[in-house]
């Protein structure tokens, strides 16, 4: 049986609350799970101790049994120093698109033109006083 340590959503509409569970990978996200391992409340501030609660011993047991973690749960476990940090890099994801690049270039050109226009009267004034 392929085991996953993942989040199962509960809570009402627009008020998410997640259980960290060990479940068969073939079961639905909010469906049957084998064991509840903790909770995650994304509505709390990031520095709150109540935001993520985990039963560390049971998580280590399931990892020892070969359970795989989802990306979000692995980030939580990395923050708790239960898993080694993975190198994550998606360089194309953060780059701006064509339109955004064009807007930035246009804005820079306007700013340069405005700076030149402001500098020209000051230069003429300085030349006239000499």
| Domain boundaries, given as residue ranges, for the chain | 3-79, 92-130
pLDDT at position 96 is 84
Q: Which residues contact 59 (CB under 8 A, 6 or more apart)?
A: 5, 20, 37, 38, 77, 82
C-alpha distances out from residue 46 to 12, 32, 54, 59, 79, Å: 21, 29, 15, 22, 12
Contact 4, 23 (CB under 8 A): yes
Reported confidence tier of residue 16, pLDDT bands at 50, 70, 90: very high
Under CATH, what is the fold of the domain 3-79?
S16 Ribosomal Protein; Chain: A; (3.30.1320)
Q: What are phi and psi of 24, to 5 degrees?
A: -65, 135
Give pLDDT tens digits for 87-122.
Answer: 877 777 778 889 999 999 999 999 998 888 877 666
Question: CA 28, 30, 36, 41 torsion: positive or negative?
Answer: positive
Q: How do residues 27-74 score in pLDDT, each as one tens digit?
A: 888 888 999 999 999 999 988 889 999 999 999 999 999 999 999 999
The β-bridge relationship of strands 35-40 and 17-24 is antiparallel
What tokens appear for 32 in the block? 């049957």
């Amino acid at each position: 049986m392929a085991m996953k340590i993942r989040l199962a959503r509960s809570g009402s509409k627009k008020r998410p609350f997640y259980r960290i569970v060990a479940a068969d990978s073939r079961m639905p996200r909010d469906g049957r799970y084998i064991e509840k391992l903790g909770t995650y409340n994304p509505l709390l501030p990031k520095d709150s101790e109540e935001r993520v609660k985990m039963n560390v011993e049971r998580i280590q047991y399931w990892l020892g049994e070969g359970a795989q973690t989802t990306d979000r749960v692995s980030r939580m476990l990395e923050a708790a120093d239960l898993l080694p940090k993975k190198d994550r890099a998606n360089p194309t994801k953060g780059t701006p698109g064509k339109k955004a690049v064009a807007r930035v270039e246009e804005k820079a050109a306007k700013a340069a033109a405005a700076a030149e226009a402001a500098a020209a009267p000051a230069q003429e004034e300085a030349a006239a006083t000499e």
